[in-house]
Amino acid sequence: DAKTTQPPSMDCAEGRAANLPCNHSTISGNEYVYWYRQIHSQGPQYIIHGLKNNETNEMASLIITEDRKSSTLILPHATLRDTAVYYCIVRWGSSNTGKLIFGQGTTLQVKP
Amino acid sequence: DVKVTQSSRYLVKRTGEKVFLECVQDMDHENMFWYRQDPGLGLRLIYFSYDVKMKEKGDIPEGYSVSREKKERFSLILESASTNQTSMYLCASRSVRQRYGRTEAFFGQGTRLTVV
């Protein structure tokens, strides 16, 4: 699975959009980009995923560059409850033997 | 809802003890994972099982073994616990049957193990 690079930490004002970047320059054609987040003292939770098109769900939007070497997770109106560690992962969508490797993630601090 | 249940939330064991951490999932998922999480090091994969009786080492398997005799249960075993195995342990499961590429992992709440 391709390796990802994320900034270790970011701050965001409450009510503003939080834009979390991820670099995955070695991604291959069949690999999906997944985002998870981990709120303190809980297990990570799935947020969103995508292959090459931009995606949106009730939690967030995912923007993937045309060359697929990077992506951005957007929380459109961040709240204090969005304070968490955010992980970007790249993996084969259909592989049943692929490991799920997490990096160190980005710690997002949403401030009042 | 998918449920991944870890047998203990907090555990204290003595150095040299054999420790079993149990994880059960109720969604017939093929893949199961064990991670440990330490401050500043993120989530590190210990072992991975892609199906019953199948296992594969992760990034840090030393000092650990696993057992997957039934599809719903994945056990992590510390053969002889040491203080450097004090950590948060997280179990996850995942289906390989994707819908629109979506095969996310579901995590348990974690077991905080302290070895004294």
DSSP assignment string, A37-73? EE-TTS--EEEEEESSS-EE-SS-EEEE-TTSSEEEE
Of the candidates A44, A49, A99, which has its C-beta nearest B45's C-beta? A99
Partners of A103 on chain B (C-beta within 8 Å) are 42
Question: How many Å apart are CA A78 and CA A104, to the nearest integer?
Answer: 21
Paired with B37 in beta bridges are B43, B88
Contacts with B38 (C-beta within 8 Å, 6 or more apart), sequence order: B44, B87, B88
The reply to whether residue B45 touches residue A41, judged by beta carbons under 8 angstroms, is no
Residues within 8 A of B (CB atoms), A 5-44 only: 32, 34, 36, 38, 41-44
pLDDT value at position B35?
Answer: 95
Contacts of B41 in chain A (CB under 8 A): 104
- Predicted confidence at residue B100, as pLDDT, reads 67
Helix (H) or strand (E) holding B19: strand B19-25
pLDDT higher than 60, residue A95? no
Please name the member of A100, A103, A105 whose beta carbon is closest to the beta carbon of B94.
A100
Q: What is the pLDDT of residue B109?
A: 93
Percentage, residues of chain A above pLDDT 90: 69
Strand order in the sheet with B19-25: B4-6, B19-25, B73-78, B64-70
Q: With bands split at pLDDT 50, 70 and 90, how would you rate the model's confidence at A96?
A: low
pLDDT at B104: 84
CB contact under 8 A, A93 and B56: no
User: To which H or E segment does residue B111 belong?
Assistant: strand B111-115
- Using one digit for the tens of pLDDT, what is the confidence trace for B3-15? 899 999 999 999 9
pLDDT surpassing 70 at residue B113: yes
Place of tokens 């998918």: B2
The stretch A23-33 carries a mean pLDDT of 87
Q: Which residues neighbour B102 within 8 Å (Cβ) at sequence distance 6 or greater?
A: A49
Segment A34-54 mean pLDDT = 91
Number of residues that make up chain A? 112
Count residue pairs from A and B with Cβ separation < 8 A.
Answer: 70
The mean of the pLDDT values for chain A is 89
pLDDT number for residue B2: 66
Q: Which of A27, A97, A104, A107 to mutate to test the interface with B (most CBs of B within 10 A)?
A: A97
- Name which of A43, A46, A49 is nearest B101 (Cβ-Cβ): A49
